[in-house]
Amino acid sequence: MDDSELAAIRAARLAELQRNAQGGGSQAQENKTNQNDPSQSILSQILEPEAKERLCRVRMVRPERVTSVESYLLRLFKSGAIRTKISESDIVEILEKVSKEERKGNETKIVFDRRSTHYEDEDEGEEDDFFD
């Protein structure tokens, strides 16, 4: 086998893996979850494919954030506030808002507790004649 044949085999295998990763595997998993959970079927109705894909990618990194976004979208749907499909840009805005709220809740405050030192206690009664 020479290098050109090996490169062609690698390219064909890579293309096959990419097709499986994009189409077959995610659709089978999505269908499985849609059948088990009615909320997932509602989400698939109100989200555009790009928005669903974005949420799937975010779920790998921040599953708790996606869960809060999904519950927010379900509340909007049940109240009748959603009239059109949610696009990817809408999902990005919602994710940014959730991220800001999480950061606001996790703000760390540093408090400096300054105590008097040994040196300040000794010099209280004396004046400093250093610059005279």
| pLDDT tens profile 47-71 | 999 999 999 999 999 999 999 999 9
Instruction: Give the model's pLDDT for residue 105.
Output: 76
More confident site: 39 or 107: 39
Q: The whole model's pTM is what?
A: 0.53
Fold that domain 38-100 belongs to in CATH? Helicase, Ruva Protein; domain 3 (1.10.8)
| Mean pLDDT, all residues of the chain | 79
Q: Domain locations in the chain?
A: 1-36, 38-100
Least confident piece of the model among 11-15, 19-23, 66-70, 71-75: 19-23
More confident site: 125 or 104: 104
Instruction: Give the model's pLDDT for residue 14.
Output: 80
Confidence class of residue 34 from pLDDT cuts 50, 70 and 90? very low
- Mean pLDDT calculated for residue range 13-34: 63
Three-state DSSP class for 86? strand
Residue written as token pair 């989200």: 47
Taking the C-alpha atoms of 9, 14, 16 and 20 in order, what is their torsion angle to the nearest 10 degrees?
A: 160
Cβ neighbours of residue 85 closer than 8 Å, sequence gap 6 or more: 46, 47, 48, 51
Residue 96: pLDDT above 80?
A: yes
| Angle (CA) 78 49 24, round 5° | 120
Instruction: Give the model's pLDDT for residue 23.
Output: 62
* CB-facing half-sphere around the CA of 98: CA atoms within 13 A: 19
